[in-house]
Structure 1
Amino acid sequence: MASQTPPPSAASPGAFCVKRPLMTLTQRADFLSAARAARVPTPAFLLQARQRPEGEAADAIRVGFTCSKKVGNAVARNRAKRRLREIARAVLPTEGKDGWDYVLIGRKDATATHDFQALKADLSRALRKVHR
């Protein structure tokens, strides 16, 4: 007989951690709006953040990723974007705010090689700066 693991109880660690849904930005207009908003540079990427106006849906965190050809060839750009997506998945659901758009822009020779824990710490620091 196969044993089943019980569902997490309210006393289990992480049970009170609020995970909000992440939506991906796909429209160019959303990227352009974020480009006109707050910017926070970090050693490995640039964070652009804007609070959406009241008329737009405010029930989720939206995030976009971009790496220009300055970052490198397609392999280097894709690796940089994969790392940016992963730090966004790890940090934004708990530290991001509903009703905000975030765009992470990769940097040449930094995003793909920077220490992963340092990337996550940089995103946390940048979010605190934006939300002050």
Structure 2
Amino acid sequence: MRSGHLMAHSLIDNDDSHAARVGFIVSKAVGNAVRRNRVKRRLREIMRVRLDSLEPGTLFVVRALPHAAGADFTELESEVTLLMDKARKKLESRGRRT
């Protein structure tokens, strides 16, 4: 799934004994270390408040695209929400629980 500044991948692990896990990929294409860390901090905060909405066993990876450094917090927040909704619908359409 892709949005303007982000790309996401999700999976339900068959072993749902662990809590939902989130990973971030922010490559050097996003910018220098300061810009990459700013994007990571923003994404961590956005996901921190949404982590409880993910089912146990969910693996969710967010990849920042190169122009994500130019996005403000509210843009990233709305895109993460959109991607989480898309992921939930995609997993439901495959017959998996969310």
State the TM-score bracket (shorter-chain normalisation).
0.7 to 0.9
Q: Does 1:80 align with 2:36?
A: no
Residues in 1 aligned to 2:2 and 2:85: alpha-carbon distance in whole angstroms: 13
Residue matched to 1:105? 63
Return the structure number with greater relative CO, CA threshold 8 A, min gap 6. Answer: 2
Which ranges in structure 2 are unaligned for 5 or more consecutive residues?
90-98
Residue of 115, 121, 124 corresponding to 2:72: 115
Contact 2:3/2:79 (<8 A) preserved: yes
Displacement over 4 Å in runs of 4+: none
The percentage of aligned residue pairs carrying the same residue is 36
How far 1:126 sits from its partner (Å)? 1.2
RMSD: 1.6
Question: Which is higher, the Rg of structure 1 or of structure 2?
Answer: 1
Unpaired runs of at least 5, structure 1: 1-39
Which residue of structure 2 aligns with residue 67 of structure 1? 26
Report the structure, 1 or 2, having the larger helix content.
2
Q: What is the TM-score with the length of structure 2 in the denominator?
A: 0.78
TM-score (norm 1): 0.60
Residue 57 of structure 1 deviates from its aligned partner by 4.1
